[in-house]
Chains A and B, each alone.
Chain A
Amino acid sequence: MLDVNKVREDFPFLKSGRIYLDSTATSLTPEPVLEKVLEYYRECRANVGRGIYNAAQAATFAYENARVEVAKLINAKPEEIIFVRNATEAINLVASGLKFHEGDKIVTTILEHHSNYIPWLRVKNTKKLELSVVLSDMEGHLSPSDFAPHIDGHTRLVAVTQTSNVLGVRPPIKEIAKLAHDEGALVLVDGAQSVPHKKVDVKELDCDFLTFSGHKMCGPTGVGALYIKEGLQELIEPLCIGGGSIEDVGLDYFRLRTGPSKYEAGTPPIAEAIGMGAAAKYLLNIGMENIEDHERNLTRRMLQGLINTDGITIFGPKDADKRAGIISFNLKGFNPHDVAVALDTSSGVMVRSGHHCALPLHKHILKSPNGTVRASVYLYNTNEDVDVFLETLQEISRSLA
C-alpha cells in the first residue's frame, strides 16, 4: 500500500494546496531528487568521463550510478541505457540513426504522440520508405490482429506507444513484438507514459528500443533515456558526435567508442541524469505495483464521477482496469480550454486542454478537432483531489454550460 500523505510530504509544489492533475504532461519533483541534483552542484561539480581529480571521479561515479538506477527501473543492463534529452530526442535518434533501405516499411499507430509519429513521417519522405498507420477502434483499443496485416517481410520497424497519452489505453506490446520479430522487424516502444506509472520489464516485453523521459517520472527536465537492446547499437548511428564519444581521432579519420558514450557526445546533462537516477530509485522504493494500484483506485473514482456528471463525454474505455490514470473528456457546450481555465481559476485544479500532441488521433478517431480536457493522476494525488475536481466540474456543468 502506498501512504499518500507520506508521499505528499516529499513534494514541495503541493504545499500550497494546489491540485495538480496534469502529470501526463510533466510530473512534480520530490525532495530526494532535488537534494541529489543540488548535491552534485554543491559537492562534485566537475565534468564526467574526463578529469582524473577526485571531484571529477565522484561526478563520473554519480553519473554512471544514475545509469545503473535507471536500468534497474526497466530491468535492463546499464550499458543498454543512453542518456538523451527526453523521449522525443530518443525517438529522433533512432529514426535518423537507423539504416534503412529504399522501400522499407515502418509501422506505427493512430494513438501515437506527435513525437512518435512525425519523426517517421519525415524519414518516410527523406529515405523513400513506406509508412503504415494502424487504426484503433473508437475507444482506442488495438489488438495484435490489427497489426498482423501491416507487418510483413519488408517491415523494418514497428513504433508503438505502451500507454496512450490521451486515452490511457495500453496496446499489447508483447504480442506486437512477437509478430514483428517473426518477420524480422525491430520494435520501438514509447514508454513516456508507462515507465513512470507501472512495472516495465524490457526482457519481458522483448522490445528492441524503449524511450522515456525523466521529467514525467519525478525527475528533472532536460533528461531522458533510450534503451537499446544489447547488440543492436551497431545498427544505430549517433545523432551527434564530438567530445566524449570517440576512441581515436587523427588528421583525417575518427573512430567512435562503443557503448552508451558513443551517443553522449559533448558534456551531458550531468545533474539532470543524476536526478533521473534518484527519481528511478525513489519510484522503486515506493514500488511500481503500489503506484499502479493507487492510480487505478483514483482512476476508478474519477471515471465514476465523470459518468455521473451531466454533459460529459469520456473518451476511451470506461473501465479503470483497461486504462492508465489518464482521462480525456469534453463538456457539452464548452470549449476544452474554457473548462481548464474555469477549473484552475475557481478551484486551483490544474488540467491540460487541447489536442495533447496527438492531432491525428483527435481528428480521425475521436472526431474532436478542438481537442479535449485531460485529467491525469500520479502517486501524489488523493481522493480529495479527485473530489474537488469532480465537484467543480459538476458546478460548471450545472451553472455555466
Chain B
Amino acid sequence: MRTLYDIYQIFPHTDCGYCGSSSCLTMLRRYCIGKSNLSDCIYFKSGELPTPKITYSPPAIKVPHNQKISYIRPCPSEPSKVTIEINILPPVHSPYGYFDMITADTIFQHQITNLKISPSLGIVRLESETGDVMVFSEGKVVIRRGADERSAFWEISRALRLLWATVNRKPRAESAQ
C-alpha cells in the first residue's frame, strides 16, 4: 500500500459514525496519527470486513525547495499572460506532506467538476477561466496563463484556501459536508 488513498479503499465507506469519527476518512486519518484503533470500527470488529494489516507509515517530509515566490514572466506559451510559481514550506504538524489529497478528492470531487487529482503522484489540477493551477503535495503551486499578476495571485490563493480547508477542517464540520 503506497498511499493513504490505497488504504482508504479497504475501509467500509459507510460513514456510519459507530467508531466515533464522523466518516471513514476521518477515522483513517485519526488512526494514522494514533488517535483511534481499527477495532473501533464495527465492520472490522464484527468481522464483516477483514481487518486490514496497515504497514503504512507517513512519508518523511522533505523540503526540496526554498520557500520563495518565483515569477516567470511572461508565460512561456502565451507571452501576453503570466506564469507564477510559489514554493511553500509544509506545516510541521502535518505528517502527510502538504496537502491531504484523499481528503480533497473525497470532499470536492463532486462539487468542483474541474478539480482533477492524482493521489499517487500527489498532484491536484484546477482549471478555471482565469488560469490553470497545479498544486503539488510537496508544497509547490504553479499557475499558468493567468490574465495578469493580480488575477493569478487571486487564483492561487483561492486554490490554496480550498485545499487548506480540507486539511484543517475539524471532524464535525467535515461531517456537515
Could you list which residues of chain A lie within 8 angstroms of chain B, going by C-beta atoms? 335-338, 341-342, 345-347, 353-354, 370-371, 392, 395-396, 398-401
Contact = CB atoms under 8 A, between A and B. Distances in A.
Nearest to B116: A400
Secondary structure type dominating chain A contacts: helix
Interface string B112-126: 000011101111010
What size tier do the contact residues of chain B reach?
A: 20 to 34
B76 interface: yes
Interface of B: 76-78, 83, 116-118, 120-123, 125, 132, 134, 136, 138, 140, 142, 144-145
A103 B144 CA distance: 46
Contact of B144 (A338, A371, A396): A338
A392 B132 contact: no
Contacts of B78: 370
Contacts of B76: 337, 353-354, 371
Contact of B121 (A335, A370, A371, A399): A399
B99 to A, nearest CB: 13
A345 B132 contact: no
22 contacts: A335-B132, A336-B77, A337-B77, A338-B134, A341-B134, A342-B121, A342-B123, A342-B134, A345-B138, A345-B140, A346-B122, A346-B123, A346-B136, A354-B77, A371-B77, A395-B120, A395-B121, A396-B123, A399-B116, A399-B120, A399-B121, A401-B116
A52 B123 CA distance: 62
**Most A C-beta atoms less than 10 A away, residue of B120, B123, B144:** B123
A345 B144 contact: no
A144 B69 CA distance: 52
A338 B118 contact: no
Contacts of A396: 118, 121, 123
A309 to B, nearest CB: 14
A337 B138 contact: no
Contact of A370 (B77, B122, B140): B77
A342 B78 CA distance: 19
Contacts of B145: 335
B123 A345 contact: yes
